[in-house]
């Protein structure tokens, strides 16, 4: 299930913690990384054990994780040098006749669920009302587990760097989005004209620089009212709405990079972006969950019907 952020998620007890603590725990970890100038969701690409083989984390049954859980599991994999893509609960490992090694520490991921309550409306009739909340549960990487089938211990194939030529698979993917892309002097999405402007391909240091920049601008392109209609109330350059949309585009480029096997390159303005993201996340502990959900939706929108992650 894609994790959605709800401003009215209840403070349901989860593993002994109120749901609000889940928001704080995850956001505080990301804030601590940002204050050091590190981007949690980019850590896998800079980790020597993972570089070149980044994938979207998978459940025991091969179904990919989504939203905030991708960021959480990427960060743990980078910090612990886990190169295997599969994660599972203690019980799921036991059900597969495998065992988590003694002393191994699990990683908490989250799941959005809802309670159904009956309430009386103004007419005295009973109506069902859904109350969303978060549940946390603990998973272990296949690297921490003994006795799984051999396929779980196969590391992803190392990604081959692009040459100086355009990459056919990526060209085909980006063309299939039907976004209107024009050559110009800078990389920008103009919502009023509904067009993306990109500098000439040859002006980028490498093909992957070009594709990662395009992935960022295409994530912006999905916010148009005729597509995902994403609006954070941006009024001017550098305000909170601007910072929120830039964070979504940054995450969208990383999610898309993992799905399409290319490394998203950092934007030159990251130092300024990080300062604005820090402020947004400090002011709203839940926003990183929302941003990850918006980025997930953007990638799913761009990927249909070519690719589903």
Alpha-carbon distance 147 to 266, whole Å? 39
Nearest-10 crossing angle of helices 240-260, 270-283: 110
The predicted structure's pLDDT at residue 268: 63
The predicted structure's pLDDT at residue 14: 43
Please count the residues of the chain. 309
Give 31-43 as a DSSP string.
HHHHHTT--GGGH
Tokens found for residue 125 = 């009739």
- Domain coordinates of the chain in residue numbers? 1-159, 161-309
Other beta carbons less than 10 A from residue 20's beta carbon: 16
Alpha-carbon distance 13 to 268, whole Å? 42
**How many Cα atoms sit within 13 Å of 103 on the Cβ side?**
0
276 Cα distance to chain centroid = 19
The predicted structure's pLDDT at residue 283: 95
Other beta carbons less than 10 A from residue 224's beta carbon: 14
The one-character DSSP state at 64 is B
**How many Cα atoms sit within 13 Å of 94 on the Cβ side?**
3
Q: How does pLDDT run along the chain (309 residues), one tens digit per residue? A: 333 333 333 334 344 455 568 899 999 999 999 999 889 998 888 887 786 678 899 999 999 999 999 999 999 999 999 999 999 999 999 999 999 999 999 999 999 888 888 888 888 888 888 888 889 999 999 999 999 999 999 987 766 554 457 889 999 999 999 999 999 999 999 999 999 999 999 998 888 889 999 999 999 999 999 999 999 987 777 789 999 999 999 999 999 999 998 888 766 667 788 999 999 999 999 999 999 999 999 999 999 855 444
Tokens found for residue 220 = 């912006």
Asked whether the CA dihedral 234, 10, 141, 85 is positive or negative, the reply is negative
């Amino acid at each position: 299930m894609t994790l959605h952020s709800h401003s009215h998620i209840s403070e349901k007890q989860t593993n002994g913690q109120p749901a609000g603590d889940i928001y704080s725990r995850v956001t505080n970890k990301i804030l601590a990384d940002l204050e050091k100038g590190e981007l949690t969701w980019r850590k896998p690409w800079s980790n020597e054990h993972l570089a070149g083989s980044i994938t979207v984390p998978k459940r025991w049954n091969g179904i990919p994780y989504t939203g905030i859980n991708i960021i959480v599991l990427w960060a743990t994999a980078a910090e612990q040098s886990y190169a295997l893509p599969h994660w599972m609960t203690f019980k799921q490992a036991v059900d597969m006749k495998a065992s988590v090694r003694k002393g191994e520490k699990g990683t908490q991921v989250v799941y959005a669920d809802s309670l159904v309550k009956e309430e009386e409306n103004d007419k005295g009739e009973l109506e069902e009302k859904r109350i969303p909340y978060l549940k946390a549960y603990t998973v272990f990487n296949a690297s921490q587990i003994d006795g799984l089938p051999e396929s779980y211990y196969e590391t992803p194939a190392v990604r081959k760097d692009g040459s100086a030529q355009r990459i056919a698979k990526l060209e085909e993917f980006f063309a299939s989005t039907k976004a209107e892309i024009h050559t110009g002097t800078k990389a920008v999405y103009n919502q009023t004209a509904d067009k993306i402007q990109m500098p000439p391909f040859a002006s980028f240091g490498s093909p992957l620089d070009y594709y990662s920049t395009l992935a960022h601008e295409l994530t912006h392109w999905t916010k148009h009212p005729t597509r995902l209609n994403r609006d954070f109330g941006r009024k001017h350059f550098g305000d909170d709405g601007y910072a929120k949309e830039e964070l979504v585009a940054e995450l969208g480029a990383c999610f898309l990079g993992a799905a399409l096997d290319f490394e998203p390159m950092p934007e030159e303005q990251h130092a300024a972006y990080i300062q604005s993201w820090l402020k947004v996340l400090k002011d709203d502990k839940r926003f990183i969950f929302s941003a990850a959900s918006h980025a997930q939706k953007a990638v799913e929108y761009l990927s249909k019907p070519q690719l589903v992650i």
